[in-house]
Amino acid sequence: MFCRIYLELMEIEILFEDKDTLVINKPVGLVVNRADSVKDKTVQDWIEDRLGDDFFQYDDRVFRQRSGFCHRLDKETSGCLVIAKNPKAMNYYLKLFKKRKLNKEYVALVHGRVEPNEGTVILPLKRSLVDREKWQVHYEGKRAETSWTVLNRYKYNNSMHWKNALTYLRLNLKTGRTHQIRVHLSFLGWPIFADEKYLNKDLIRRDRELLSHHFLHAEQISFKSFSGKDVKIIAPLPIDCEVLLKSMVSD
């Protein structure tokens, strides 16, 4: 009974839905998949509860393991998450992701003055040799490509090392590696605001006095749905991210 009430109270915004597909605005702090290390309820619990018998009628092993998830977002990353309601739709979307026929755009607030205004980084990534929860740029890794566009620049007096500057970016992923945006930007010298894995401890502490999570949001996704419809979805920023941007002074 408690589990059912908890799942009903879980606030997850549905951005798009048809008979085969669901796109949600994943909240900050919610883990996508169940794991032995995860004690709280997950998006996987929520979707299985929401679809009920319609979900459990399928015995497709991969679909049941993934619970229809076509990709993933980190715990602290919010925004567009695509979930298939049946195995055929899931296989269709997985192929779209593999062929890079889904366009994913993120927004992020990063330390430093990003220049030029537009650019692309192509650097291979692999799991860190030192910390297994992190990833790193490494010549033995898998190809990863991220493009950026500057949306705005701000003053931020807490980071002299980055010239007391913050930059608000739009990011387009050509590949979908784990921590791709976070590692690429950190490697270039523009770590994401309040990122506890890729920032130094002093700056994390100062950032988190203003924001309780890293500032990375999967804002837009566009694709041709399983039913053949052209779909473009925009997920609104978390309120605390909006408040932070409005409090900043443009540079």
Q: Give domain limits for the chain.
A: 2-250
- The CA distance from 209 to 168, in Å, is 19
Strand pairing of 135-137 and 13-17? unpaired
Q: In the structure encoding, which two tokens stand for residue 231, read together?
A: 């779909």
Indicate if 74 belongs to the active site. yes
- Please name every residue paired with 22 in a beta bridge, in sequence order, or none if there are none: 17, 83
CA 143, chain centre distance (Å): 19
- Please name every residue paired with 248 in a beta bridge, in sequence order, or none if there are none: none
The answer on pLDDT for 7 being more than 60 is no
3-class DSSP state for residue 197?
coil
pLDDT tens, residue by residue, 211-247: 999 999 999 999 999 999 999 999 999 999 999 999 9
pLDDT tens, residue by residue, 21-32: 999 999 999 999
Average pLDDT in the 102-129 region? 95
Average pLDDT in the 36-57 region? 88
**What is the structure's pLDDT at 10?**
62
Length of the chain: 251
- The CA distance from 73 to 28, in Å, is 10
Catalytic position from the list 20, 40, 49, 74: 74
If you classify domain 2-250 with CATH, what class do you get? Answer: alpha beta
Share of the chain above pLDDT 70, in %: 95
The answer on pLDDT for 72 being more than 70 is yes
